Amino acid sequence: MKKVFPSIVILITLSLLGLMFLQMSWIQNVLLVQKGKYNNDLENSFTDIKWGIQHKIALYIGMNPETVDWENSRTWDILWSYVSQVPQEDINHIIAEELSENHIDLKFEYSITSNNWPQNSSKGFSNDMFSSSFRKALTPNGSYRFALYIKQPKNYILRRTSWMIGASVLFTIIIIAAFALTVRTVFRQKQLSEIKSDFINNMTHEFKTPLATISLAVDALANPKVKSNTAQIEYYTGIIREENVRMNKQVEKILQAAQMDTSNLELNLQQIDAHEIIRTAASNIMLRVEEKNGTLEQKLNAKKFMIEADEVHFSNIVANLLDNAIKYSKDRAKIIIETSNPSSKTISIRIRDNGIGMSKETVNHIFEKFYRAHTGNLHNVKGFGLGLSYVKSVVEAHKGKIKVDSTLGKGSVFSLELKTSVEIK
């Protein structure tokens, strides 16, 4: 999986880049085709515009367009010499009508010149428009010329191609989004697979140790010498009892996690002394702290420490956080528990340690169920990765907040904020 996944991502990425390149080439070709069609439509329009204006001139000077000798080039020059007398509105109407026939519904300006001298031009036409105008000769000898300036011709091309370009871009975005979602899903599945492997390895280790201890104790109890010694029987049965309690606690953690899944956490809310719970939890772990030649300092400075909470669950979250502080501490553990009242209605509980700390990536995932900093089959730090997920769920069930600040190699600070049951005055 580790080798296949990057290869799949690279292949799909290259395919997407190739698809985008082909799409861009296709769009460019479509624009070129539409530009050619636009020029062709202008050519067709010009022919009709020229004949339309000629007929209008003939009628204006009292001639019948049907009897005019159009084969005689001199006739053209004589006829067009009267173009200046034709009202601009009439010429505008002819041009607009013929352009519309060819589906060119854009604003325009025109100019009719004789030997480069304007004879009849629209009011908005200026000399700087000549260079970007559509220009054609009106007479065989080219003495009269026609210039048509189309405003924003790109609008014509884009209007003809907008739906194709829009659909192409839309489907490309959909494909990219689907690819990104697929990669994200596969990556997430890969992470879950690693987490599952870690969880199974850790769970196996956590249950294997007490089971092995119980097995040894049972074998010892079967020894005839032990059977006759009451003290040894008490000793070995005590070991079995302790290991049984230990396994029950591990099972309870898994059941707590399952309870979080179903959102059926039932709280037995009552008035409890947060400081008393903290003192009890601290007392319970002092032996482990001393084993690491460490210290546990309590700075219980909150003036209001009565909270409405479930005593069992609140005790569990304090115990979990202290347990983590010891697990991940260095040889000389230094743990500080502080309380304060950041507002008149809240109590803040901070548990600080000088342990190994966490990276930013680990901090981002630390409250996810079964998550532990990935260590494969190493069991130097025991646990299922359920503790902090449980802590967060319980805190949120009490409508509280929890956050963590950590620096790799320097330690971590877990901060809880809960509502007090009595407002400070």
Taking Cα atoms as reference points, which of 321, 347, 341 lies closest to residue 414? 321
What mean pLDDT do residues 389-394 have?
A: 83
pLDDT band at 384 (very low <50, low <70, confident <90, very high): very low
User: In Å, how far are 96, 338, 400, 415 from 308, measured between CA atoms?
Assistant: 81, 19, 11, 18
Cβ-based neighbour number of residue 330 at 10 Å: 14
Q: What is the spatial distance between Cα 33 and Cα 27, in angstroms, rounded to a whole number?
A: 10
* pLDDT over threshold 60, residue 376: no
Tell me the pTM. 0.48
pLDDT of residue 378: 38
User: In Å, how far are 83, 92, 197, 407, 414 from 374, measured between CA atoms?
Assistant: 88, 78, 10, 17, 21
Q: What is the spatial distance between Cα 82 and Cα 56, in angstroms, rounded to a whole number?
A: 10
* pLDDT over threshold 60, residue 261: no
Question: Could you tell me the two tokens for 238?
Answer: 């005590």
Q: For 229-305, where are the alpha helices, taking DSSP H only?
A: 230-261, 274-291
Task: Delineate the domains of the chain, giving CATH numbers in brackets.
Answer: 4-151 (no CATH), 158-261 (1.10.287.130), 269-419 (3.30.565.10)
- Tell me the torsion sign for CA atoms 292, 285, 365, 250: positive
What mean pLDDT do residues 130-149 have?
A: 84
pLDDT of residue 374: 47
| Structure-model confidence comparison of residues 400 and 159, the more confident one | 400
